[in-house]
Chain A
Amino acid sequence: MVDIRRISTNRWWNKKNNWGLFIFLLFLFFVRISKGSLYKDFYFLVSRPFWPGQFQREVLTKSVEQEFLIRLKQLEKDNKRLREILSLQRLSDSESISANVISRKTGSFWRHIILNKGVKDGVEIGSFVVGPGGLLGRVDNTSLFTSTVKLLTSPESKVGVWVERIQMHGLLVGSGNDYPKVIFYNKDVDIKVGDFVLSSPASTLLPPNIPIGIIQSVDEEFKAKKTANILLLGKPQAIDWVQILKVEI
């Protein structure tokens, strides 16, 4: 009788530690599967009292002016072109969603920002995000209250762009620092420092002609490719408010 009782108390499910370990492993599994959405939503609630104010105008005025100049020039050209072409990719008719940046990783190898709008507010994966200055990135992941935006500077970001002056397409690749690079698959391309870089009209991911940056320097050609460093107009390390826009293709 005593032996039976001893065996039954020695079963693994009767040990408190094993249950603790099991719950811990279950927790790890849940975090992995949910891609940390529980953490992000918790962070949303915890960080709420500390969200930034709206006093950034002085810092960002310069970027905004540059953005308006590029937009104006581009709109004039678009007006002419649209008289000839009728169907183009266009922005969704629904309103854009304004969001606040609640967490940012803009240094190191991990480059993303977390916004305080999520599935509950109608944010979808693949929507693009613009701030004062121009394009910042695309929504990569959403949770109930938050959405994560992969920045253009992230090593995994690749976006089709074009240089407006020479009407040449290229690929904007994040290089893990503040200056992403554009690759042109043509070594004879005539790019110059100061050329404006916009989202490509041929892109299926982004709407055309959103300002992205200015060519800062041009590298030596390498294996029939030409690359250039881009100075981004949108500054994710300083921006606190952004717009999330859906694209209709």
Chain B
Amino acid sequence: MGNYFKKKLSFISFLFIPIVYFWDPNWLEFLGVQPYWPLFWLLPWSMIYGSFDGLIIGLSLGLILDSLSHDSSFTQIPGLVLCGLWFGKLSISKNSFVGHFRFGLICAFASVFCGSLYFFQILIKYWSADTYFLYLPSIKNIFAQVFITGLLAPLLCSLLFRLFQRSKGRDKLISFINK
């Protein structure tokens, strides 16, 4: 049983991302904004399993988080898909060493990217109604999120990276390409 859980660790942890998304503890806030949780999981996972798997799992994460966030007009899918693709390029198979603090830097960049994509969707939607200027102050959310995501990433990503590597028996259920 323990072995089974070890083997399926990445998949089981994937199912718990929405629970962490709901939990969103107040004591991890910076300027009222909490970290962008899915990146902490997506970065180590995509690094181990590669670009294509990263893309697919980014899409899956986006679908689930969009369903939970109830903003019918905006989506998180493009940001997460492109991040999954990018993180996969940093794959460990390329022997490029990624240190603890580089995890933070990568997550901070990814958070800027995802936050900006979401922000531009809001601007584009309200551009024609001439009310886009009402949403400009919310750019603060992006900067706060980048800071707190970059701060926590070294700790969480390193931990998850080590756990996923240990259970690397290549969980076939979410490994979409046979290597």
Tell which of A39, A109, A222 touches B18, judged by Cβ atoms closer than 8 Å. A39
What DSSP secondary structure best describes chain B's contact surface? helix
Q: Are A47 and B23 in contact (CB under 8 A)?
A: yes
Beyond A112-B69, A150-B70, is A237–B32 a contact (Cβ under 8 Å)?
yes
How far is it, in angstroms, between the C-alpha of A47 and the C-alpha of B25 when the chains are bound? 12
How far is it, in angstroms, between the C-alpha of A103 and the C-alpha of B44 when the chains are bound? 27
Q: A32-64: which have CB < 8 Å to B? A: 32, 34-36, 39-40, 42-43, 46-47
How far is it, in angstroms, between the C-alpha of A32 and the C-alpha of B22 when the chains are bound? 16
Q: Are A39 and B22 in contact (CB under 8 A)?
A: yes
Q: Are B64 and A106 in contact (CB under 8 A)?
A: no
Whether a CB of chain B sits under 8 angstroms from the CB of A200 is: no
Min CB distance, A227 to chain B, in Å?
Answer: 7
Residue numbers in B under 8 Å from A179 (CB-CB): 137
Residue numbers in A under 8 Å from B23 (CB-CB): 43, 47, 103
Interface string of A1-40 (1 = CB under 8 A from B): 0000000000000001100110010001001101110011
How far is it, in angstroms, between the C-alpha of A175 and the C-alpha of B73 when the chains are bound? 14
Whether a CB of chain B sits under 8 angstroms from the CB of A155 is: yes
Number of inter-chain CB pairs below 8 Å? 114
Residue numbers in A under 8 Å from B29 (CB-CB): 107
- Kindly state the interface size class of chain A when it binds its partner: 35 or more
Whether a CB of chain A sits under 8 angstroms from the CB of B152 is: no
Whether a CB of chain B sits under 8 angstroms from the CB of A67 is: no
Q: Are A36 and B24 in contact (CB under 8 A)?
A: no
How far is it, in angstroms, between the C-alpha of A156 and the C-alpha of B70 when the chains are bound? 10
Tell which of A16, A46, A140, A173 touches B19, judged by Cβ atoms closer than 8 Å. A46
Whether a CB of chain B sits under 8 angstroms from the CB of A117 is: no
Chain A positions within 8 Å of B, measured between CB atoms, are: 16-17, 20-21, 24, 28, 31-32, 34-36, 39-40, 42-43, 46-47, 103-110, 112, 114, 140-141, 148, 150, 154-156, 173, 175-179, 181, 183, 222-223, 225, 227, 237
- Beyond contacts A43-B19, A105-B34, A107-B34: 20 other A-B pairs, Cβ-Cβ < 8 A, are A20-B173, A28-B60, A35-B68, A36-B64, A39-B18, A39-B19, A39-B68, A47-B23, A107-B31, A107-B144, A108-B34, A109-B74, A109-B141, A148-B70, A150-B70, A155-B122, A176-B137, A176-B138, A179-B137, A227-B134
Interface CB pairs A-B, < 8 A, 12: A32-B64, A35-B70, A36-B64, A47-B23, A103-B24, A109-B115, A110-B71, A177-B140, A178-B32, A222-B133, A223-B130, A225-B130
